[in-house]
Structures are given as structure tokens and as C-alpha cells.
Amino acid sequence: MILVTGGLGFIGSHTVRSLLDMGEDCVVVQRRAHELPAVLAGARVEVEQADVADRDALLTIGDRHDITGIVHLAGSHPAVPDAPIEATRQALGGLMNIAQAAQEWGVRRLGVASTIGVYLGAGNGGPLREDAPLSMTAPVSIPTFKKVGELLGGFLADTTGLDIVNYRISGTWGPLGHPDPFFAAPALIHAAARGTAPDLSHLVGPAFAEDGLDLTYVKDTGRAIALLQLADRLNHRTYNVGSGRATTNTELIEAIRKAVPDTQVHLPAGGDASSHLVLDISRLREDTGYQAEYDTERAAADYLAWLRAGNKA
């Protein structure tokens, strides 16, 4: 049985769906009470309400379930900037608790979510490989804590013998997602589904037609993570989880227009193609056989159909 923290959330629920489809049983750990999302409707999923920062509550889950692997997707960066020291203690404590649980339960593999953001400042001369030197600084908290988590995970893997694997996840969009501050794709799709102009006020900067990023549809992201968790053998500790290419806003808008010809979604010309972050996913492909199932056109049509069917997010 695979334990997935944050397993009822955005990427988590799709990862659980993929694990179930691959024949695995799952138990999800969620900090707050939560209904099964639509992607898991009717699925046989065990749900445990617990905070990974509560070590005792987390460890007792192993008394009730035979946990063979862990996918740690719950947030591991401070979400309360008003109390940064305590928030940092909680975030890093949660990661340590998950590692302790993995050791005590004797799990086969512990996977930990990281982010494409760790590559900020690492250059963009081509697809980014996992062995690229990383900057020691980051402009926002998420990549800072993911870098710290990767270093701690490497230390724990070396000293405990645990198989700890990092997932550097690209920009991800799709059902159950939410407006992202760093890319426009979710907001563009929601606007097309509503028949309105997009509201991009949540973005950290203005969006232009030729802005692009390695974007992955969440169903592919979940499947990639499931493949990494279940692979018989992995040759590396860190894997990029992405599409291996940049998707521009222009490409996405063209895909939206094929599904919604009268859409009001458009963006001003401009954007710097040289700044696109793109992940090299050779490791993922070679060690798991992963191939994306959703190109931009299929992903846009699937997400629009989801929203138009009355599903939220």
C-alpha cells in the first residue's frame, strides 16, 4: 500500500488515481477533512486525517496499514510568513517525520516533491538536466525549501539507506488546479470555459503571448510520479517531471480556440523566448518508460470539458 501525503490535493489526487490504475492500494494523509475529489469518485482509497508535522499521529498510521511506499506531496515550505521561524520548524519537521516513518515502516521508496523553481538562476541555455549546478539563493520561499529538502534527503539517504527520490515537477495545470502566480495557463482555460476575458491580476508579472514554460498536464504529472514510485529500479535520486518542451501562451490560446472558436482569450504580443525554463526528462523516460499522453490541444480540450461539466477548478 502506497501512502500519499496531500493525496486529496491537486497533484496528489491525480497521482493516487494513477497508482490505483496501476493496481496499487493507497492511503492518503490529509491535514484537513476533505471529500474525495471527482477524479477519485468511487475509488477505494483509505483516508487518514493527520498533519505530517505531528510525528506521533503520523507514525500511528503505520499501525493501521501495511505501508510499502511513500509519496510525499504535502506542502513543505512556510505558508505563514508572519511567523517564519515556527513555520520553518513545521515545514522541515514534517519532512523529518516522513523520513522517520519511512525508516520505521521499512518502506521500499520515499518520493519527495520538489519543483522546477530550483533551477531559477541556473541558466537557460537549453533543457535543464538534474545535474545542473543550482544557485544558492532563490527569489521566493518554495524553491528555497525544496533545495533544502533535497539536500536533507540526500544526507538521510546516505546515512539511513533509505531510497529517497526527488521529483522536480514542472509547471502543472489541469482539473483541481488553481490560478498559478507564475504562469497564465489555468486562468486562460477558466476564462474560456466562462466565456469571459481572462483575469490575470494574480500573476507576479504581466503575461505576453510568447511567454512560455515547461508545462505538464496534471494527469501526466500524476502518472510520471506513480511510475517513479513503482519502478523496479531507479538509477538516480533526482528526476525532472515535465514535458521536455516549452509551451507558449500562443500555443495554448490556439488550442483553446480549436475547442472554443469564439473565445475572448488573448494576450498582447511579446515575451522572451530565451527565458523559457525547459526540463530535460531523459532520466524519467529511460528509467520508467514514461511518455506524455496529453499534448497541448488534448489537454486544453480535456480541461475545458471538465469545467463545462460543472466541476470546480
Query: Predicted confidence band at 212 (pLDDT cuts at 50, 70, 90)?
Result: very high
pLDDT of 125: 66
Write the pLDDT tens digit of every residue in 252-310: 999 999 999 999 999 999 887 777 899 999 999 999 999 999 999 999 999 999 999 99
Give a yes or no: residue 286 inside a domain. no
Describe the crossing of helices 55-64 and 84-105 by its angle, rounded to 10 degrees.
30
pLDDT higher than 70, residue 37: yes
- Domain check: are 188 and 110 in the same one? no
Rg (CA), the chain: 19
pLDDT of 140: 82
Give a yes or no: residue 270 inside a domain. yes
- Domain check: are 164 and 182 in the same one? no
Q: Which residue has the cell 549546478?
A: 133
Q: From CA 186, how far away is CA 203, in angstroms rounded?
A: 11
pLDDT higher than 90, residue 141: no
pLDDT of 78: 60
CATH number of the domain to which 267 belongs: 3.90.25
- Domain check: are 260 and 149 in the same one? no
CATH number of the domain to which 96 belongs: 3.40.50.720
Please state, for a pLDDT cut of 70, what percent of the chain lies above it.
97
The DSSP 8-state label assigned to residue 69 in this structure reads E
Total number of domains in the chain: 2
Mean pLDDT, residues 40-56 taken together? 93
